[in-house]
């Protein structure tokens, strides 16, 4: 299905074979600047990665694959959700966000230091780019739309992880997105209510 109002692009990094019913939504951050740049990269065969949606900080949405296709967003061998593989049964949403704000990384990628809103500071004192309200609202709208298409998303989870998770929840040995600036459990409770 096509999400209304999204800019449509097509990623070759998706598949329709051995697709399971949608049971899960995985939230990611791009670890990059613009959503459009991330969407272009995820549509490049060399990326060997993709997602269904990419959401800009201002709420604009790019859709890279139909919801009945599966993308390569969280499917490493170490990824699992309640003991099962992730990609074949999930929808991936990338939020344009740098993640941890590292002055050197920002200088290399943008040519300038971080100039965004005040960072979110985690319990260890590390700075993270916050998620703007317009972006969170757009992500919530997508998740609610998906839950209308796939009632399974509103059903009780078969295990300890909810049906809306961060990449760090399904692959904690390798991933840390969307990070502590994104309230994953709160979003799962509110967005799938």
Does 18 reside within a domain?
yes
**Of the candidates 186, 190, 179, the residue with the CA atom closest to the CA atom of residue 123:** 179
Domain count, the chain: 1
3-state secondary structure of 107: helix
- Residue 105's pLDDT is 63
Does 120 reside within a domain?
no
Does 38 reside within a domain?
yes
Give the integer Cα–Cα distance in Å for 31 and 152. 30
Does 61 reside within a domain?
yes
CATH code, domain carrying 46 = 3.40.80.10
Omega of the bond leading into 181 within 30 degrees of 0 (cis): no
Task: Please give the chain's pLDDT, 193 residues, in tens.
Answer: 999 999 999 999 998 887 889 999 999 999 988 999 999 999 999 999 999 999 999 999 999 999 999 999 997 778 999 999 899 999 999 999 999 987 666 666 677 777 788 889 999 999 999 999 999 999 999 999 999 999 999 999 999 999 999 999 999 989 999 999 999 999 999 999 9
- Residue 104's pLDDT is 61
Does 84 reside within a domain?
yes
**Of the candidates 60, 45, 31, the residue with the CA atom closest to the CA atom of residue 178:** 31
Does 49 reside within a domain?
yes
Two tokens, residue 76: 């490493």
- The domain of 185 spans 7-101+129-191
- Residue 116's pLDDT is 81
Two tokens, residue 150: 């796939």
- Residue 107's pLDDT is 63
Asked if residue 119 lies in contact with residue 106, where contact means CB atoms within 8 angstroms, the answer is no
Does 25 reside within a domain?
yes
Does 96 reside within a domain?
yes
């Amino acid at each position: 299905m096509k999400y209304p109002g999204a800019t449509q692009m097509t990623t070759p990094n998706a598949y329709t074979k051995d697709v399971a019913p949608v049971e899960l939504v995985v939230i990611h951050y791009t670890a990059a600047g613009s959503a459009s740049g991330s969407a272009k990269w995820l549509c490049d065969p060399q990326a060997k990665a993709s997602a269904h949606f990419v959401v800009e900080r201002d709420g604009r949405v790019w859709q890279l694959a139909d919801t009945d296709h599966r993308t390569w967003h969280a499917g490493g061998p170490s990824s699992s959700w309640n003991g099962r593989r992730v990609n074949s049964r999930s929808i991936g949403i990338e939020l344009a966000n740098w993640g941890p704000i590292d002055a050197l990384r920002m200088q290399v990628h943008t040519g300038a230091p971080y100039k965004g809103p005040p960072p979110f500071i985690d319990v260890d004192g590390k700075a993270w780019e916050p998620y703007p309200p317009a972006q969170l609202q757009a992500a919530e709208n997508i998740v609610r739309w998906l839950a209308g298409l796939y009632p399974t998303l509103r059903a009780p989870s078969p295990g300890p992880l909810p049906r809306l998770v961060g990449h760090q929840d399904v692959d904690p040995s390798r991933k840390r997105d969307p990070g502590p600036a994104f309230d994953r459990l709160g979003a799962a409770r509110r967005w799938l209510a």
